[in-house]
Structure 1
Amino acid sequence: MPTPAEEAGNPKVVTRYGSSSGNETYATLVWRRFKRSPMGMIGLVLVALMLVVSIFADFFAPMDPKQANLPFASPDVIAFEDPAGSFTLIPYVYPIGDTGEFDPVTFQPLTGLVKDNPTPTGFFVTGAAYKLLWFIPSNIHFFGSTDGRPIQLLGTDKFGRDILSRGIIGSRISLMIALAVVTLTTIVGTLVGITSGYIGGRFDSWVQRFVDFVLAFPQLPLYLALTSLIPVTAPSNVFLTFVIFVMAVLGWAQLSREVRSKTLSLARIEYVRAAIAVGATDSRIITRHILPNVLSHIIVSITLAIPSVVLLESFLGFLGFAVKPPLISWGLMLQDTGTFSVIGSYPWILSPVIFVLITVFAFNALGDGLRDAIDPY
């Protein structure tokens, strides 16, 4: 460990994280530590890809999510071979169907790849019309069939709609709900926690009793009770706004308690006491001295709270209390898995779970990497 004199005389200081120049910012040091976390980098890449796909969902969806085809159609298979069996760089999509052969024991028809008339595919193909970013007319899709025939890489639901396309489009609603709820809970929880911890005294006691009251509520029954207050005939946007509001009202208390505990310790540090001694206002002390020091914890809490909201939305959507048609979300898509007979006969109906698992893994990996990089101790 270099002494203060050595640090003053050398332009570079060797720390436990390697050599660093004295003029590096805190963000640079955090990014350097974060890059050393493989799982954190994987989470960052996945989160970036999910955000890009959700923003340009219509472009990445190979099919119109409302187009009805054969109900409960099994997933198609992509193969890099033509009908003659020769290798080709242009992939073909082969449906799963009756091969014309029978099991010699049970005499049941066998299913497999139907190679009679495969569907050619390609990138940047013409397909269903849509509006890119909600106002630019377009009909170009990132991937799809070149002859206009439907492709269902994850199969279809009970109405014959492509599950993959609906999952990509549904990422908008699911991620939008998560981001909106986390934004509201972060703002309210941070303001209440910092104010309560900094002012202290009787005000802090009353605020914390109210926080205890909110935390004591059994959230799931309250979610169901509050969302059931909206009439079934209410517009989808009104119902969605109310669901976001309910989740935000019940989700800010835990972050408030965490921020308050950090504020209580920061309020006793010397530079905060010095700011009070020189006559700094409470708002300046909170915004310039306390908030920057709890910001690292808030950032980590955000990345770890988003997957929790995604899981909650999926669960409520499965029960029918989150999103109403014609909107699409992952939870709403899981309503088709309500019976064991459907799952046993058509297991690809569970495909929306894949989207939820990837999202939860990505944000948890990103949050763990940020937590280690921001606070290595």
Structure 2
Amino acid sequence: MTATLNPPKKPTSAFWKRFKKSTPGKIGSVIVLFWIILALLAPVLKPYDPTVDRNFRDRQEPPSFSALWNSELKADLTDENGKVNYFKHIFGTDNLGRDVAVRVLHGSNLSLQIGFAATLVALLIGSFLGVISGYFGKGTDQVIGWFTDVMLAFPSILLAIAVAAIRPPNISPVAATYMTMIAVSVAQIPIYVRLARSVVISLKEREFIQAANALGAHNRQIIFKHVIPNSLTPLIVQGSLSIATATLEAAALGFLGLGVTPPYPEWGTMIADSRDFYVDAPWTMIFPGLAILTWVLGFNLLGDGLRDVLDPRSSH
């Protein structure tokens, strides 16, 4: 009787098998995928010009679905054939007559760009500095560690505010968007420096790194072929969590008037513009706030799921 050996599982199949067991990961991936699809299809589904698409006759109109119990609104939404358009402004309109649902939809595109761009920049710069600091140590580690400690002495949102406040007063909306990305990424860099440094310090004591050194491998080869590939797991998990943090910080900057400037439909800016109308038109704040809530929740759950799958110390 001959024994049969099962072929080893591919890393991707093993990953998906473990990911399917993570309830937070599955819920988070559905939420994130939903918002990503909306963000990518927003220009196609609802072409939008924030400087033109407004109707003052429909300003502060309640959500159209409220016509189910609002007879006055139902009369306004009834056409010549007697049909009621319950989807005309499903999230209502703001003080300028702009459709809140359309602005929330296009705000997801902007949040997607800011979240991913800021996180990618912070991950690349912070991880590079952390790898250099942890691998070479001594003076290099002291200098990078000193700058990192100074940046970590401030809460990330205060650091982002300090960077964003440098911008000139009459900045264009496009420049303000890029400045928001820079401010958020700068605030996130120290996290990746500390994380990459701690991972590299532990890797330096592993046998395969010591063997590469004994065989005369150059530091550049060791870093790019051995150190960085084996440091990706915690950085990927942190990156998924940082996208949520970056979006939240960008919304906070927009709310304070230091982020994306009008007329761009950024969620934090939309909430800030609605502060004077929250009594008469609370929907102008509720729906952008719910968008931020679900976006951040989705990436946090996805990050928890990835940590459960990619962390070899977790039990499954």
TM range (shorter): 0.7 to 0.9
Greater alpha carbon shift after TM alignment, 257-266 vs 197-206 = 197-206
Query: Would the alpha carbon gap of residues 159 and 96 (structure 1) be closer, same or farther in structure 2, given more than 3 Å must change?
Result: farther
1:251 Cα deviation from its structure 2 partner: 1.6
Q: Could you tell me which runs of 5 or more consecutive residues in structure 2 were left unpaired when the two chains were aligned.
A: none
Query: Percent identical across equivalent pairs?
Result: 31
Which residue number in structure 1 is paired with residue 301 of structure 2? 365
**Which of 205, 210, 217 is matched with 2:142 structurally?**
205
Matched with 2:280 is 345
Is 2:151–2:159's contact at 8 Å kept on the other side of the alignment? Answer: no
Aligned residues: CA RMSD = 2.4
Deviation at 1:76, TM superposition (A): 0.8
Say if 2:113 is the partner of 1:176.
yes
Would you tell me which structure has more helix in proportion to its own residues? 2
Q: Map 1:97-108 onto structure 2 (within 5 A).
A: 97-99=70-72
Q: CA deviation at 1:365?
A: 1.1
Matched, 1:67 2:4: no
Q: What does residue 30 of structure 2 align with?
A: 45
Q: Which has the higher contact order (CA 8 A, sep 6+)?
A: 2
2:83 alignment counterpart: 118
Q: State the 4+ residue runs in structure 1 displaced beyond 6 angstroms.
A: 111-115
Q: Deviations over 1:39-76 (max 9, x none)?
A: 21221122222112111202333877623241111101
Query: SS in structure 2 opposite 1:179?
Result: helix
* Pair 1:289–1:25, CA change in 2 (3 A): farther
Q: 1:295-316 CA deviation, whole Å, 9 max, x = no partner?
A: 0111101110011111111111
Name the structure where strand makes up a greater proportion of residues: 1
Counting only pairs closer than 5 Å after superposition, residues 63-102 of structure 1 correspond to structure 2 as 66-68=53-55, 69-77=57-65, 94=67, 97-99=70-72
Query: In the alignment, which of 304, 307, 310 is matched to residue 374 of structure 1?
Result: 310
Answering whether residue 25 of structure 2 is matched by residue 31 of structure 1, we say no
Displacement of 1:38 in angstroms is 2.5
Q: How does 1:154-193 map to 2 (within 5 A)?
A: 154-193=91-130
Q: Is the 8 A contact 1:63 1:162 kept in 2?
A: no
2:240 pairs with 1:252: no
Residue in structure 2 matched with residue 18 of structure 1 by the alignment: none
Contact 2:184 2:249 in 1 (8 A): no
Equivalent in the alignment of 2:167:
230
**Larger gyration radius, structure 1 or structure 2:** 1
In structure 1, distance between residues paired with 2:117 and 2:65: 37
Q: Could you tell me whether the CA contact under 8 Å between 1:76 and 1:153 is conserved in 2? A: yes
Q: Name the SS of the counterpart of 1:251 in structure 2.
A: helix
CA apart distance, 1:230 = 2.3
Asked whether the 8 Å contact 1:60–1:168 carries over to 2, the reply is: no
Tell me the equivalent position of 2:214.
Answer: 277
Residues 266 and 113 from structure 1, CA distance in 2 versus in 1: closer, same or farther, beyond 3 angstroms?
Answer: farther
Q: Aligned-pair distance for 1:221?
A: 4.1
* 8 Å Cα contact 2:25-2:304 kept in structure 1: yes
